[in-house]
Amino acid sequence: MTNRIDAAVETLSNRIGGKQVPSASGKVEPVYNPATEEVIAYVPLSTKADVDAAVQAAAEAGRAWAKTAVPRRARILFKYQQLLVERWDELARLITIENGKSYAEAHGEVLRGIECVEFAAGAPSLMMGKQLPDIATNLESGMYRYPVGVAAGITPFNFPMMVPCWMFPLAIACGNAFVLKPSERTPLLAQRLAELFDEAGLPPGVLNIVHGAHDAVNGILEHPGIAAVSFVGSQPVAEYVYKTASAHGKRVQALAGAKNHSIVMPDADLDAAVTQIVAAAFGSAGERCMACSVVVAVGDVGDALVEKLKQAADAISIGNGLEEGVFLGPVIRDSHKARTLGYIEAGKQEGAKLVRDGRLDAASDGKGYFVGPTIFDDVACEMKIWKDEIFAPVLAVMRAATLSEAIEIANRSEFANGACLFTDSGSAVRQFRENIDAGMLGINLGVPAPMAFFPFSGWKKSFYGDLHANGTDGVEFYTRKKMVTARW
């Protein structure tokens, strides 16, 4: 936290009631380009009073918005989709600049965000209720769907566009007003998303942005004017958000951390598996909740697999994500790089075999928070590098004699976001599907993230709540129902 301002660098303000409003706190934090270490903006650390101003603006605007005909709401979503498509390149570049991921990854992330808007534009169908004309003689019953009121979203740094787009487009299409608290490490994209939604014709105050960190989050969790909270971030914070917001009477969905396992069977197409696993382990610098962080090699496939993984990792180009051909950008902050290097040292101390040491790529004198692709072999469940979410380009390889043993290893993790199986065998797929504890499964692919019309459905400590983000779960989360039973 700092109050020192470089006058040449923009200080962001909150977006409340359609206007840019400076935070009352006077405190700011620098936002860095992680590839260059340049300060690209200062983000205000907003207070509970700032949150309250946003909630009041949202409540005011939300009253008319909730009564706006659903097809009219949908038309604004269609216009928003158009603007996002037109600004695709600008948005992708902004993601790379504030997050560090490669331009190609950022371009894909924009698509994922746009798909959420496209799903939300189906609001007239999604908001429909149900009727049964004859529940008894001359008695009918019907369910009507309504917005919950003001909903809030708290988002992480790793998907500055996709994750906010899991939340506000659908919430708003369902007739709610929204307060978004984006990650203080990647606040610029959120600002742009709000401006473009306003340009699409969204009435002022329906979408509000409050920047900041803990104080702003606590302001949201405790605010009596907020009915629903969507959170995406690390496991301890997700648990805290879930418990605190629930205790304040809100419905909560809190998507948390992960440690995703990929199991490689002896009958798998090894080259195809390696391509998928390397992209899933090292793409976006491993900073994905669906990253592959553990590979379990079954039977005698391990040595060949590790050799091929190392070769593929050696060929990865590291650098500023805006440069042509770069695959691996920096991790988000210096502190995250230091934490990652600490895990690599801990892995060595714990007795895992360091097959490829990304610290050597990190040792260049140039700027940026770079860590190269790192591979450990002979990892065991007792090791910290297996237990903890490292959230960096560090891949652990383990060995198992059978598929059952591999599934048992994966199921020992406290996380259960995703899991993948590489095989040609239908019966192996069935055994995997029926026995693995994870909410999102991939067969012969590395990142099994569902599309916007399906729920993003982590299990165990990867998710707190009931209704998941996206799909009809999302519609249920952002709406409440009235049942009308009538005799005429």
Q: Which residues are annotated as a binding site for NAD(+)?
A: 157, 181, 184-185, 389
Q: Which stretch binds ligand NAD (CB under 6 A): 96-104, 180-188, 355-363, 426-434?
A: 180-188
- Angle among Cα 280, 283, 284 to the nearest 5 degrees reads 125
Tokens coding 99: 């997050």
253 binds ligand NAD (CB under 6 A): no
Q: Which is nearer to ligand NAD, 210 or 309 (CB)?
A: 210
In 3D, which of 242, 262, 248 has the Cα closest to residue 463? 242
Q: Does 387 bind ligand NAD (CB under 6 A)?
A: no
Taking the complex as a whole, how short is the minimal distance between the CB of residue 269 and ligand NAD, in angstroms? 29
What is the x/- site pattern for ligand NAD, positions 262-281, by CB under 6 A?
Answer: --------------------
Determine the residue with CB nearest ligand NAD.
233
> Considering only residues 76, 256, 264, 383, which one is a binding residue for ligand NAD as defined by CB under 6 A?
256
From 137-145, 251-259, 269-277, 317-325, span contacting ligand NAD (CB under 6 A):
251-259
Q: Which two tokens stand for residue 157?
A: 């740094």
Closer to ligand NAD by CB, 102 or 158: give it: 158
Instruction: Say if residues 376 and 352 touch (Cβ distance below 8 Å).
Output: yes
- Rule CB under 6 A: is residue 183 a binding residue for ligand NAD? yes
Catalytic residue among 289, 292, 381, 420: 289
Instruction: Scan for tokens 């203080």, then name that residue.
Output: 184
Binding residues for ligand NAD restricted to 135-164, rule: CB under 6 A: 154-159, 163
Q: Encode 317-341 in three state secondary structure.
A: CECCCCCCCCCECCCCCHHHHHHHH
Closer by beta carbon to ligand NAD, 154 or else 179: 154
In one letter, which amino acid is 203? P
Decide if residue 104 touches ligand NAD (CB under 6 A): no
Residue 91, classed as helix, strand or coil, is: helix
Q: How far apart are CA 148 and CA 6, in angstroms?
A: 42
Give the residue among 413, 405, 417, 425 at the shortest CA–CA distance from 447: 417
Asked if 237 is part of the footprint of ligand NAD (rule: CB under 6 A), the reply reads yes
Contact flags string 414-453 toward ligand NAD, x per CB under 6 A: ---x------------------------------------
Nearer to ligand NAD, 46 or 479 (CB): 46
Work out which of 19, 63, 130, 214 binds ligand NAD, going by CB under 6 A.
214
Asked if 165 is an active-site residue, the reply is: no
Q: How far is the CB of 257 from ligand NAD (least distance, A)?
A: 3
How far apart, in Å, are the Cα atoms of 110 and each of 58, 91, 272?
Answer: 26, 7, 26
Q: How far is CA 351 from CA 262, 348, 380, 395, in A?
A: 22, 5, 9, 15
Considering only 50-58, 99-107, 134-142, 249-257, which stretch makes contact with ligand NAD by CB under 6 A? 249-257
Among 167, 196, 217, 328, interactor with ligand NAD by CB under 6 A: 217
**Minimum distance between the CB of residue 253 and ligand NAD, rounded to whole angstroms?**
10
Burial class (CB in 10 A: 0-12, 13-18, 19+), 160: buried
Residue 38 or 222 having the CB closest to ligand NAD = 222
Going by the annotation, the residues of the binding site are 157, 181, 184-185, 389
Residue with tokens 């599934």: 407
Q: In whole angstroms, how close is the CB of 242 to ligand NAD at the nearest point?
A: 12
Count interface residues toward ligand NAD (CB under 6 A).
Answer: 28
- For the chain, the distance separating the N- and C-terminal CA atoms, rounded to the nearest angstrom, is 65
Report the C-alpha gap between 94 and 478 in whole angstroms.
29
DSSP string, 129-173: -EEEEEEETTEEEEEEEEE-SEEEEE--SS-TTHHHHHHHHHHHH
Q: Residue 304, Cβ neighbours under 10 Å: how many?
A: 14
For residue 476, the minimal CB distance to ligand NAD (Å) is: 18
What is the DSSP pairing of strand 415-416 with strand 459-460? antiparallel
Q: Can you tell me which of 30, 286, 458, 471 binds ligand NAD, judged by CB under 6 A? A: 458
Positions touching ligand NAD (CB under 6 A) are 154-159, 163, 181, 183-184, 213-214, 217, 232-234, 237, 255-258, 289, 389, 391, 417, 456, 458, 462
